[in-house]
Amino acid sequence: MSVLSVKNLIYGYSKGTPFEKGALKGVSVDFEKGEIVALIGHTGSGKSTLLQHLNGLLKPDSGDVLFEGESIHKSKQTLRNCRFNVGLCFQYPEQQLFDSTVYKDVAFGPANMGLPAEEIDKRVKDSVAYVGLSEDYLEKSPFDLSGGEKRRVAIAGVLSMEPKVLILDEPTAGLDPVGKNNLLKLIKDYNNKTGNTVIFVSHNMDDVALVADKVIVMNDGEIAMEGTVEEVYSQGEKLAGLGLDVPEITSVFIELKNAGFDLGKTEYTVDGAKESIIKFLSEGGLL
């Protein structure tokens, strides 16, 4: 059974006004336990609208969202259960920090779950350590931290609820290459260690290639492509047609093909490209 499944979801914004816009036009997708799924698509493709349905922030016009096989909109109880189990971390989560210390901010979620004080304490300390901050940070004000640190505190606030599905909307936006790599590593580690599902939105195809098991490409409120990184990235021309950036190495391969060099399948990593080019050259006696 999929941990989270979306059945024929339809949703429109500003209904009954001249600005009415269909944001989701019948989306169905299953998220399996333990997967890392990347959601890509240009602005306005419906990614964020879909995410907000996954923990019931938005209620679909029609269709349903099932958490562990049960509709999240069945009762108040199922919705509450879903909110605790599907942790959603918005874009620029650091803008949502609100409490006077890091400790209190991170403790907010578990406290709302009604956990005993000891358990809350343990979870706060664990999740702050998990995102790579030392215990010295616990009593600091989150507003005195650097941008990258704030983001990690905000993510710790979601991790402390130990959600079975962790959702991150553009977690690496605005970070420098080092901060970005640390965060991607954190996503991968979290998934490895807990076996929990992670869903994240990204515009950076190279980041996606690094951590995702599965890629979903959205376009105009529908799922345009779905598959493993390799299945999706090997269709470089189709991605470009959807207004997406293809990984830089993929564009090298597309241009090589246009220049008359057919190297077979389209590579997307430097290592894969190197192997493929060496093979091409040695077969042609050009090494």
Partner 1 sequence: MNKIIEFKNVSFSYSEEEEAVLQNLDLDFYEGQFTCVLGHNGSGKSTMAKLINALYIPTSGTVISYGLDTADEKNEIPIRRNIGMVFQNPDNQIVATIVEDDVAFGPENLGLPRDEIRKRVDEALKAVNMYEYRYHEPHRLSGGQKQRIAIAGVIAMKTNCIVLDEPTAMLDPKGRREVIETLLKLKNEYGISVILVTHFMDEAVKADRVVVMNDGKVCLDGTPAQVFSNASHLESMGLTVPKPLELAYQLQKNGVRINGEPLTAAEFVDGFKNYVENRG
Contact 228, 214 (CB under 8 A): yes
Buried b (16+ CB within 10 A) or exposed e, 99-138: eeebbbbbbbbbeeeebeeeebeebbbebbebbebeeebb
Given the complex with partner 1, which of 4 and 153 has the nearer CB atom?
153
Please state, in angstroms and rounded to a whole number, the distance separating the CA atoms of residues 130 and 145: 17
User: Per-residue contact track with partner 1, 19 to 48, x per CB under 8 A?
Assistant: -----------------------xxx----
Stretch that binds partner 1, among 5-13, 132-140, 170-178, 219-227 (CB under 8 A): 170-178
- By CB under 8 A, tell whether 243 contacts partner 1: yes
Q: Site for partner 1 (CB under 8 A): which residue of 81, 175, 213, 222?
A: 175
240 binds partner 1 (CB under 8 A): no
Question: Which residue, 146 or 192, is less far from partner 1 as judged by CB?
Answer: 146
Site string for partner 1, 188-207 (x = CB under 8 A): ---------------x--x-
- Nearest one of 159, 237, 232, 163 to 202, comparing CA atoms: 232
123 to 162, contacts with partner 1 by CB under 8 A?
146-148
In the complex with partner 1, the residue whose CB is nearer, 138 or 254, is 254
**Distance, C-alpha 248 to centroid of its chain:** 21
Does position 279 interact with partner 1 (CB under 8 A)? The reply is no
Q: Return all residues near 245 (Cβ < 8 A) that are at least 6 apart.
A: 203, 204, 205
Among 4, 89, 252, 266, the residue binding partner 1 under the rule CB under 8 A is 252
Dig out the tokens for 251 from the structure: 């564009």
What are the two backbone dihedrals, phi and then psi, of residue 284, each rounded to the nearest 5 degrees? -85, 5
Q: Does 227 bind partner 1 (CB under 8 A)?
A: no
| Residue 286 is a binding residue for partner 1 (CB under 8 A) | yes
- For residue 17, state whether it binds partner 1 (rule: CB under 8 A): no
| By CB under 8 A, residue 261 contacts partner 1 | yes
Q: Which is nearer to partner 1, 136 or 271 (CB)?
A: 271
The residues that touch partner 1, with contacts defined as CB under 8 A, are 42-44, 146-148, 173-179, 203, 206, 243-245, 247-249, 251-252, 254-256, 259, 261, 270-271, 273-274, 277-278, 281, 284, 286-287
